[in-house]
Amino acid sequence: MTQDEGAGASATRAPMSIDEAKSAVLKQVEFYFADANLPFDKFLFTLTRKDPEGWVPIDTIASFKRMKPMREVLSSQDIAEALRGSTSLLEVDSDGKRVRRKAEMKPVPDAHARSIYAKGFPDEFDGLQEELESFFAQFGKINGVRMRRENEKPRKFKNSVFVEFADAAEMRAFLEKAKATEPQEDGGHGIEYKGAKLVTMSKPAYVEMKMKEKGIDPNNNSSSKSSSSKGGRKFNAFREMERERRAYTWTGCFEELTL
């Protein structure tokens, strides 16, 4: 499934209005297809490659767990209508059955440098992802909140997240606020989530810290311990497409040599 659709404890939610559901559908599907998510979402990216023109069935998108609250009040036609409201990212086919990106994916520049690590969140429950997105939105425009999970099933939430800010200045302001301890700056509490103070740092700082812990030299990516990883490499569509391009180029050269 798509990113962060792990299981959580069920909770009762008030039904959305139709207008609220349409707005939520557009926001959620634009996130699914955004440059900050699609290249790293193996399931959805694979779906886009199954059709030569990149179309994905709307009913398939609507079946994702994060879409359930909206499906309860919207028909397939309503969902298609909501997605037609996308101004630049998405387009819907004439039958209202499929959706795709309008433009090819592009690497998001400096995404790593604009991201932070934060730890101190509660165990997962139904709706936590949405709560986290709302929580971080108060600090600036957010491209994505990724709940970190264990590699082994059932992929338990690790009580920490990576958050990509759209603007580097807002990311730096968040980290400065998190470090604040003087009462006149932030009540002497730094940044808290439901009463718990968060441990925060930039994502590059977190990665560097973990590499040191594992004995990995960032200059040559070698390790004095084991260089293997139980979880394997994370999916990256740009890396996969480059591999395909190289394979295609090599095949073409080989065919020329054998003519």
Summarised one tens digit per residue, pLDDT across range 38-96 is 999 999 999 999 999 999 999 999 999 999 999 999 999 999 999 999 999 999 999 99
Residue pair 171/116 in contact (Cβ under 8 Å)? The answer is yes
CA distance 229 to 12: 39
Summarize the chain as % helix, strand, coil (round to 5): 40, 15, 40
pLDDT at 180: 79
pLDDT at 190: 83
Asked if the model's pLDDT at residue 254 lies above 50, the reply is no
| Domain 115-218, CATH class in plain words | alpha beta
Q: Which two tokens stand for residue 243?
A: 């591999």
Indicate where the chain has its CATH 1.10.10.10 domain(s). Answer: 18-101
pLDDT at 222: 46
Burial class (CB in 10 A: 0-12, 13-18, 19+), 134: exposed
CA distance 128 to 156: 13
CATH number at 18-101: 1.10.10.10
Of 32-41, 97-106, 242-251, the one with minimum mean pLDDT is 242-251
Indicate where the chain has its CATH 3.30.70.330 domain(s). Answer: 115-218
Mean pLDDT of all residues in 12-20: 84
Q: Which two tokens stand for residue 254?
A: 């080989």
3-state SS, 172-219, equals: HHHHHHHHCCCHHHHCCCCCEECCEECEEEEHHHHHHHHHHHCCEECC
What DSSP element (H or E) covers 136? helix 128-137
pLDDT at 1: 47
